[in-house]
Structure 1
């Protein structure tokens, strides 16, 4: 079993990853700005607090871990500083020999083979553009790191989040950096099945130093 630290472990994606990893017997540490209410905690998970803009908190998150997954969002104090936080975590992960994963956004995917990433176009809705571009910058900078960092960056389907929770099916598909849909033309995945895909990637790595997508 691995020691898995989920940064942003009380958010929508993060909490699902924490729950899935703990259910498989991994040692799981959740880092967030505050500790969740007792009834929201997962048995066996260690809950830590700290800001990923703080060097000491980042070091605590990485030290002793086999895998660190960042499910941080560029909101609140991290708006405009998510790149700084994720790249600092990545540098520590490389130094400590820890695998590093990032939960990115749908907008980092391409709509067609060889086309631009959606975040690199001017087609994004204004309310999502800033977040999308910040997470896309994280992806681009990870791609420029040397081989000492074992990373993955995963983009969920278009319909993903607390606004479209869906239901657990116990299945998913993965793709490369191009968006894909189901037979009905819908790009969706539930939080539980997205977490399933991420913990499967941790248990059986298939995407090393790579960007991949998850949808039904």
Structure 2
């Protein structure tokens, strides 16, 4: 069993990953700005508070962990500073020999082999462009990182989030940099099944220093 720290562990993606990792018996630590209350707390998860813009909180998040998963979003205090936060986590992970996973966005995928990433086309809806560009920059920095840093960057399907929770089907498909769509042209995955894929990757690494996508 591994010690897994989920940064942003009370959000949609982070909470789903923390729940699945705890269900499998891993030691799970969730970092967020506030601690959830009541039914929002997941059995088997230890909750810590702190901002990933704070060096002391980052140190606590990485110390003692086998894997750190950053499920941060470029919102609130992290809007415009998400790259700074994830770069700092990457530097600590490299220093401590910890594996780093980053939950990115659908827009960091490509429409076809060799095509630009969706975030790089200039065609994103204005309401999504800023977040997509920031997360794509996180990926760019990881791609240019030192070879000794063990990382993966996982992009969920287009339809993913609390607005489209879907059902836990117990299955998923994994792709590389090219977005996955089903036979009806839909790209979707539930939080529970996305978490299955992430924890499977932690338990049986198949994407080292690489991006992969998850969808049905």
Please, what TM-score do these two structures have when normalized by structure 2? 0.99
Correspondence for 1:74: 74
Matched residues in 2 for 1:49 and 1:175: separation? 34
Correspondence for 1:171: 171
The number of residues matched between the two structures is: 216
Correspondence for 2:132: 132
Unmatched segments (≥5 aa) in structure 1:
none
Correspondence for 1:40: 40
The runs of at least 4 aligned residues of structure 1 exceeding 3 Å deviation read none
Matched residues in 2 for 1:41 and 1:8: separation? 14
Matched residues in 1 for 2:90 and 2:79: separation? 18
Q: Does 1:23 align with 2:11?
A: no
Unmatched segments (≥5 aa) in structure 2:
none
Counterparts of 1:41-56 in structure 2 under 5 Å?
Answer: 41-56=41-56
Deviations 1:81-134 (A, max 9, x none): 000000100000010000000000000000011000010111000000000000
Correspondence for 1:119: 119
Q: Does 1:201 align with 2:207?
A: no
Q: RMSD across aligned C-alpha pairs, in angstroms?
A: 0.5
Please, what TM-score do these two structures have when normalized by structure 1? 0.99
Between 36-45 and 96-105, the greater mean CA deviation after superposition: 36-45
